[in-house]
Structures are given as structure tokens and as C-alpha cells.
A and B are shown apart, each in its own frame.
Chain A
Amino acid sequence: MSSDNIIEHIFTPFQESINSEQDVREEIRNIMKDIEKSLREIVTTLQIIHRTLNGEEISAACFTARSLFNVVQKGFEKLDSVIPEGQYYRYNDHWRYATQRLCFLAALVVFLEKGFLVDKVTTAQILGLHEKSRIHLDLEDYLMGLLNLATELARFAVNSVTFGDYSRPLQISKFVAELNAGFRLLNLKNDSLRKRFDALKYDVKKIEEVVYDLTLRGLVPNSGGGEAVE
């Protein structure tokens, strides 16, 4: 190759590779727009938990959220067909944040329905990322979602008390304490997950304060304060 055909041999193929990459990204962006639309709807739907004590309303919200997750699943199904084989991490910037939010929402729905911590496989199933050929649920995204859940639950604890539900904060307290204990087992690198985890203690503290306020006033159900020692 002489210096005269450098453009033809080096830069033209490079530009072509950029162009085809941009095409893929464009397709991904379009799919993500739909997924993010459902995401926002789930977020607003579930905000009902901060406004009502009515169990039926909350169940209905969970039900709506579930059906919106079905739409999300279809979106990820489409995404799975667009990502080239083995290139998940080349493009995952496009869906990382949305996936984290969706993990949070899935975990919140399962918490509201069943009261336990959703595992990773179930989360992947709810999102429609389970056993796909080219996309999957990243562990870090799932964990990020759980940390977001803790923040939401701290707020939920406060608002439950406002509506006179004094047992909810105890449930949340136990739940988040376990979550916290779990996170403490991880060796986190100095990355975004680590930073987000560092904020977990503020959520834990908030919830503890709520429980403390209830205990102090003998408002804890089942022979005041008994629950706290267990």
C-alpha cells in the first residue's frame, strides 16, 4: 500500500464501519424510546403507594405495572434481534440506565405483592431479559436497581406512617437491613455501584428513625417494640 491509496485502504473502510455502527445505534435508540415510555408509565403508576393506604389500590397498581412490563418485554425482545452477536457491551450504554430503573420497579412490585426480595432470575423474567440469545440482565444493573429500591422504601416508610400504617415501616426495616447486610458482603470497586451503595446508609438511617419514632411512642403493633428485637 503506497501513501496514495491510504484513504481507500484505511479510512474508507473505517468510515463504513462507523456508519454501520451508527445505524445499529439508531435502531437501538428507537427501541429504547418505546421501552422508556413504558418505564415512565410504571414509575407514575407505582407512585400511588405514597398517596394511599388502600391495599386494593396498591394491588391494582401492581397489576397495571405487570401489564406494562409485558410491553417492556416485547421491547427487549426486539432489542435482542438488533444487537449483533457478542456485542452486548459495545452498545449497552443505550439501555443500562433504563434497565436499572426497570430492575428497581420490578423489585418494588414484587416487594409490594409478596414482601420479599426479588432474585436476579425473576427480575430478568419480569423485564424479558431471561434466556435471550444476545442480551441479558447485568448483575450490576440489577444491584443498582435494588439500591434504588431502598431509597424508595425509605420514602414509603415515612408516608406509611403518615397514613397510619405502623406495621409497614417494620417490614421495610427488616427488608432493607437484610439488603444492607447483603451489599456489605460485596467487594465493590471504586465505580458507580460503589458510590450508589455508599448512599444506602442514609436510607437505612431514615428507616431506623421512623421505626424509632414508632417504638418510642408505643405505636409498634404486637406488644410495642417486640418486633424490633425479634
Chain B
Amino acid sequence: MTTTNEPLLSVQGLEKHFPVTKGLFKRQVGAVKAVDGISFDVFKGETLGLVGESGCGKSTTGRLVTRLLEPTAGKVVFEGRDITHMRQGKLRPLRRDMQMIFQDPFSSLNPRHTVGTIVGAPYRIQGVQTENGIKRAVQDILELVGLNPEHYNRYPHEFSGGQRQRIGIARTLALKPKLIIADEPVSALDVSIQAQVVNLLEDLQNELDLTYVVIAHDLSVVRHISDRVAVMYLGKIVEIADRKSLYRVPMHPYTNALLSAVPIPDPKARAKSDRIRLTGDVPSPLNPPPACRFHTRCWKAQDICKTVEPPLEELASGHQVACHFPENAPEAATKTAATTP
């Protein structure tokens, strides 16, 4: 669903370094390079999935884009306006168009507020006038996300995890935003409830013409929901492509390894021996490996990977990879029609 017009959100060379300080005078002794120069565009009506292991900077990216964190460098452009260093006062009206869904439905809802207060808060803060009063508007939204509008006066603890996530989604939708950043929207939920929420997000997107950035670690959920997918590793995007080519012909060795590590719910798949197993853990972002950050765990790594950082290059149409030795090179890409390894 990629459209050719101007992107709704454009991120250019975004960086976030958290300083590490020491001693009485808070001398800076280093920096956690949580996000280290990433660029991507999100077009209207599409869903961009952002995947990676914990500590790769995907959540930080979400918070930078919504300006909940101040970027160290780079640019965030929303609807053609540079919002990177916009002051809070000027930013506030923009928050209407850009909302966030949080991971944990237990800690992201105030336990002392009723559902009505929580979902109605955006109207009050933004001073939005509704036709038949705030209560009516809130009840309409509750109905939209599949909750009973009569539960207006209940408290969050009276709801199950899946219902709470729906309350969070209702709050997000209150002001009819254009862009929604969903940070692990389903990972705290049970399998059967996960599927309900994923379906709900998709229905809402079709109905309200929403644009999503979905941040998740679950590759199968991301494949289900996204139009394009970006894979992050230690603060960098290593591969970005439309869903079909990323899952069918992954080019970066890390993407291959990630896909190969997902357990397949099929007892027959157990015997397969062609799996890629990475050794070790993700290195610390405090002191990431030089050049290609994946070289310490990569089975294809050669000397050049330790000295020259591979740029993110377009190897096939709409398929960008940052690797010196990509798999499924473009010539082979058309031949390999088989499903993911």
C-alpha cells in the first residue's frame, strides 16, 4: 500500500545517546547509543513494523518520534513540518495527530480514574468541543473498540488485560489521530486475546484511515499487521523492505537468523537442520562493536565487516540492506519463490 506522495512521517539520521555519568560532578564517561542514526519514511495509510531484540532501540525510536524523548541529533518531520526541536507549547496541538499505544495495559491506565475520565482526558486537555458532550463521544469510542459503553463509570481494575488494552486504544483514538505509534501493543496479552486486538487494530485502520508504526519483538505478529518492516540491531536499521520481500527473501544475515529462530508450531518442522543459530547475546549498546555491529555474531563476517560500516543500500526495489555480504542477492531474489527458511 505504499503511496508515492509525500510521507506522513519522515525520520532522518535520528540519534539518541543517553549519557552515562560518574562521580559527584556527573562527569560524562560514556553514552548508551540507543538509537544511532536511523532514517525511514512512513506513508499515509500504511503500517510500518519495527522489529528487533530487546535493547535494539525500537522503543526509544517510538518515543523520539512522538517527542517523549529529546533526540540527540537528526530530524523528525511530521506532515512536512520539522518537529525535532519544536517547543512543547507549539507541539501540543500536534499531539492530537500523533498518539501512542503502550505495552502494559496495567501501568498505562491511572487506577484512580474511571474509564470515562481516562478516555475523555484527551478532549479536556486539548479543549476539543464535541457535538453531544464528552460523555457521548467517549461512549461512541468505547463501542468502536468493542467495549460496553455502559462501563463508562468503571475503574481499570474491573477489566481484564485485553479489555484494558482496548481502553488504551480508545484513549488513543479519541482525537482521531493521523499517526499511531503502538509499542508492543499485544505482547502482554494471552494468545487468543492477542488475535482479537490485532484484528481490532486492523479494522480500525480500515475504518478510520490510520497510519501505524508498530513496534514489536514478535516477528509473526509484525508480519501479520505490517505493510513494510524495518529490522533494527543495536540502534541501527539493518534491513527495511516491504513485508513480502523481507519475509520471503531476507537479505541481512541477522534477519535470516531472527526468522530462523522463531519456533514453528508444527512438530514436523522440528527435524529441520538448516536452522541458523546465533551464538551469544546482543552486545551492550554502551560499547557497540565497531563498523558492522553484527559482525561479532555473524557467520559471514570477514575483515571488512570489522573496519568499514556497511551503508543502508537499496539492493532491490524498496528493499534496503546494510550488509557487505547480503544473502539472497537481487539476481537470486526473483528465483527464490520459496517461503522463509
Question: Do A and B originate from a single complex?
Answer: no
List A residues at the B interface (Cβ < 8 Å).
Answer: none
